[in-house]
Amino acid sequence: MIVAGGSSKRMNGVDKIFAEIAGKPVIAHTIDAFERSNSIDGIILVLPNQNVEKGKSLIQKYGYKKVEMVCEGGATRQQSVSNGLRFIKNCDFVIVHDGARPCVTKETIESGIKEAQEEGVAIAASPVSDTIKQVGDSLHVEKTLDRNKLRSIHTPQVFRLEILRKIHENPKFDATDDAGLAERMGYKVKAYDNSHDNII
């Protein structure tokens, strides 16, 4: 499931997923990576309502064979993934990936699937190189965190289908990503090394 349901607020209204890079829209490069992977059987593309028809035209233009559905997202990422889940057929694993992360590699996709086969949930993660400090409401530093134990979390995030369905059935928490929901509901989440190329 490739999710690109954002409102472009951080880009001042510029729709970054349809911005052209190297002769193609960003979202096309993202789809390419999954279209080429032998580990991927089907793709659900989740877009804001105003981009659904644009997305369908893009699928036709580039002749993607694995895209099974272009559907409307929701007001939040959580809602967008829930909407996309309705179109997932029976399968063992679902990958959730950000549409604006076009440089994902075959190796990163396959590593995530391998880890999820063993753990149930696996997420691409990179070591944190900055010094990270925890601050209070007054912005005074409370403590310095051990960056050796910190990871910056990206996508792909890979789930056993039944786990992803379960965490979206009646979510009792808000989370910025699906792994956060799984974590809050008691599932173990395995972080695996992200490719340095997998940037936004």
Domain segments of the chain as ranges: 2-193
Which range has the worst mean pLDDT, 130-134, 186-190, 191-195? 191-195
Q: Select the more confidently predicted residue: 4 or 10.
A: 4
How does pLDDT run across 115-166, given as a tens digit for each residue?
A: 999 999 999 999 999 999 999 999 999 999 999 999 999 999 999 999 999 9
Chain mean pLDDT for the chain: 91
Instruction: Note the CATH number of domain 2-193.
Output: 3.90.550.10
CA trace torsion 172, 75, 56, 105 (10° rounding): -60
Which range has the worst mean pLDDT, 88-97, 148-157, 170-179? 170-179
- The per-residue pLDDT for 176 is 85
> pLDDT at residue 83 above 50?
yes
> pLDDT at residue 104 above 90?
yes
Residue percentage of the chain with pLDDT more than 90: 84
Beta-ladder partners of 141: 135
CA trace torsion 126, 128, 129, 134 (10° rounding): 170
